């Protein structure tokens, strides 16, 4: 009898032990399951609706499948991003894992200690990345951002209208002025436009004119800047009335509806006007040169990782994915974005090739804007100076002296 009880006891002990083991196994499995379900990468970008569609349908799915992760897209504008990251860092609760940020809104992120130093990960940058894009992400010899999306404006013109008046796209300032004069004389209305909304859109144009004349936008009253604003004062009389409303978005409409025959915009405009709008007569024109040189603004976005990101390892994988040939080819062919890599134009369709030839030409002469924490002061000074000089007809040198002093004061704060 004793032996029977002993056997039963051993059986019960074994059963309990097995149950406990099985229970632990179930709990561990459950934990793993929960852990997998919680695998989310929160990505901040500032994109238009059609751009988000491409990201969600063409770009994100492959990464999600390969890494067993769900991407949570966050639409945050560049200026709002700084405020949000500051609040999250202060609360010690970072809720963003990776950011793509306008390359003109980087200085404050670094200055406020909101992004990780990526210097030791520099080798992640592929050899095929355009070399001039890398310094944009460097501050004090440290790498804080990696390249992913360069951008540069190209000139677009209405070939039918230019042929009608025997005109060719301008190659220098003199020809630009002559084209603007001719079109206004022929039609009684200006048909050349710059982006004149007196905000960041206009700043891009002003930066280019100043650099083309050998000036420095951070100085503003030097010889080159005076030449640029003097030229713009003359040119402005012959520009389209739409200039005052022309920005990155409306320029597409003005070119497509033929209220403007010549203007500049970012390359995404090509897909909007030519592909979707079927305005095949809108052709690309090479950059024109100023008294000193050609110069375009190197715009675009870079990739960074917020300090405190809870998924840094995945963020690095996504960073590599955005820089890959596969992803860059999607961004080029589907969105008309310039590529960050030299080998990512293989999927470009035949009709797109002349436009990307203009993009590549423009990138060769593109210069990054100075990334200073007082850029908002510079931005306002450049635009206020244009308003007073070109629209109100004030003296060029006196006006630039006034705004140069404002910039210098901001610099020394």
Owner of token pair 């910039």: 407
Of 256, 253, 262, 297, the closest CA to residue 280 belongs to 256
Confidence grade of residue 413 (pLDDT, cut at 50, 70, 90): confident
Are residue 117 and residue 174 in the same domain, yes or no? no
The answer to whether residue 261 is domain-embedded is: yes
Beta strands 299-304 and 296-297, pairing class: unpaired
What is the model's pLDDT at position 409?
A: 97
What is the model's pLDDT at position 3?
A: 45
Domain, as residue range, for 348: 39-150+300-359
What is the model's pLDDT at position 1?
A: 43
The answer to whether residue 43 is domain-embedded is: yes
The answer to whether residue 18 is domain-embedded is: no
Are residue 82 and residue 159 in the same domain, yes or no? no
Are residue 178 and residue 83 in the same domain, yes or no? no
CA-CA distances (angstroms) from residue 295 to 119, 140, 187, 213, 298? 29, 25, 30, 9, 9
Are residue 54 and residue 159 in the same domain, yes or no? no
Residue range 108-121, pLDDT digits in tens: 999 999 999 999 99
What is the model's pLDDT at position 18?
A: 44
Residue range 259-288, pLDDT digits in tens: 999 999 999 899 899 999 999 999 999 999
Are residue 107 and residue 130 in the same domain, yes or no? yes
CATH code where residue 236 lies: 3.40.190.10
Q: Which residues of 218-232 are buried (b: 16+ CB within 10 A; e: fewer)?
A: bbbbbebbbbbbebb
Rounded to an integer, the average pLDDT of 60-80 is: 94
What is the model's pLDDT at position 286?
A: 94
DSSP string, 233-272: HHHGGGB-GGGGG--TTHHHHHHHTTS-SEEEE-THHHII
The answer to whether residue 332 is domain-embedded is: yes
Are residue 314 and residue 188 in the same domain, yes or no? no
Confidence grade of residue 371 (pLDDT, cut at 50, 70, 90): confident
- In the chain, pLDDT over 70 holds for what percent of residues? 91
Average pLDDT over the chain, rounded to an integer: 91
- Kindly give, in sequence order, each residue whose CB lies less than 8 Å from that of residue 182, ignoring residues fewer than 6 positions away: 165, 167
3-state SS assignment for residue 408: helix
| Burial class of 323 by CB neighbour count within 10 A (0 to 12, 13 to 18, 19+) | buried
Q: Are 185 and 398 spatial neighbours (Cβ–Cβ below 8 Å)?
A: no
The answer to whether residue 347 is domain-embedded is: yes
Domain count, the chain: 2
- In the chain, pLDDT over 90 holds for what percent of residues? 79
Residue range 311-349, pLDDT digits in tens: 999 999 999 999 999 999 999 888 888 999 999 987 788
pTM: 0.80
Are residue 200 and residue 283 in the same domain, yes or no? yes
Are residue 195 and residue 282 in the same domain, yes or no? yes
What is the model's pLDDT at position 13?
A: 47
Of 21, 126, 68, the closest CA to residue 313 belongs to 68
**What 8-state DSSP symbol labels residue 227?**
H
The answer to whether residue 166 is domain-embedded is: yes
The answer to whether residue 177 is domain-embedded is: yes
**Is the pLDDT assigned to residue 78 strictly greater than 90?**
no
Confidence grade of residue 32 (pLDDT, cut at 50, 70, 90): low
Residue range 7-25, pLDDT digits in tens: 444 444 444 444 444 444 5
What is the model's pLDDT at position 402?
A: 98
Are residue 209 and residue 146 in the same domain, yes or no? no
Residue range 164-213, pLDDT digits in tens: 999 999 999 999 999 999 999 999 999 999 999 999 999 999 999 999 99
What is the model's pLDDT at position 35?
A: 52
Rounded to an integer, the average pLDDT of 380-385 is: 98
What is the model's pLDDT at position 20?
A: 46
The answer to whether residue 7 is domain-embedded is: no
Are residue 349 and residue 376 in the same domain, yes or no? no
C-alpha dihedral, 273 to 275 to 280 to 285, nearest 10°: 60
What is the model's pLDDT at position 28?
A: 57
Are residue 205 and residue 223 in the same domain, yes or no? yes
Are residue 123 and residue 180 in the same domain, yes or no? no
What is the model's pLDDT at position 48?
A: 83
């Amino acid at each position: 009898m004793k032996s029977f009880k002993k056997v039963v006891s051993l059986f019960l002990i074994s059963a309990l032990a097995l149950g406990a083991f099985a229970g632990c196994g179930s709990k561990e499995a459950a934990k793993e399951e929960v852990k997998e379900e919680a695998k989310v990468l929160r990505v901040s970008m500032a994109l238009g609706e059609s751009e988000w569609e491409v990201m969600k349908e063409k770009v994100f799915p492959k990464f999600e499948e390969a890494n067993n992760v769900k991407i949570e897209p966050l639409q945050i504008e560049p200026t709002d991003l700084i405020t949000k990251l500051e609040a999250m860092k202060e609360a010690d609760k970072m809720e963003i894992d990776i950011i793509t940020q306008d390359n003109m809104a980087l200085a404050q992120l670094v200055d406020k200690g909101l992004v990780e130093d990526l210097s030791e990960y520099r080798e992640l940058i592929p050899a095929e990345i355009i070399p001039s894009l890398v310094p944009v992400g460097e501050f004090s010899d440290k790498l804080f951002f990696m390249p992913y999306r360069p951008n540069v404006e190209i000139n677009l013109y209405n070939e039918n209208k230019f042929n009608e008046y025997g005109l060719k796209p301008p190659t220098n300032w003199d020809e630009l002025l002559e084209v603007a004069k001719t079109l206004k004389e022929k039609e009684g209305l200006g048909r050349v436009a710059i982006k004149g909304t007196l905000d960041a859109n206009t700043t891009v144009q002003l930066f280019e004119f100043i650099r083309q004349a050998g000036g420095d936008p951070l100085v503003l009253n030097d010889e080159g800047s005076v030449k640029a604003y003097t030229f713009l004062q003359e040119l402005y009389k012959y520009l389209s009335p739409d200039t005052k409303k022309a920005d990155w978005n409306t320029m597409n409409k003005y070119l497509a509806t033929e209220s403007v025959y010549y203007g500049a915009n970012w390359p995404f405009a090509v897909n909007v006007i030519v592909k979707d709008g079927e305005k095949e007569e809108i052709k690309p024109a090479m950059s024109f040169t100023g008294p000193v040189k050609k110069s375009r603004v190197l715009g675009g976005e870079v990739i960074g990782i917020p300090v405190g990101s809870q998924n840094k390892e995945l963020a690095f994988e996504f960073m590599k994915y955005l820089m890959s040939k596969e992803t860059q080819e999607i961004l080029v062919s589907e969105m008309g974005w310039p590529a960050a890599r030299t080998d990512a134009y293989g999927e470009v369709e035949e009709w797109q090739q002349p436009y990307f030839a203009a993009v590549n030409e423009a990138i060769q002469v593109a210069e990054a804007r100075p990334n200073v924490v007082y850029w908002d002061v510079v931005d306002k000074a450049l635009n206020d100076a244009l308003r007073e000089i070109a629209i109100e007809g004030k003296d060029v040198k006196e006006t630039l002296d006034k705004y140069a002093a404002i910039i210098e004061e901001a610099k020394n704060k």
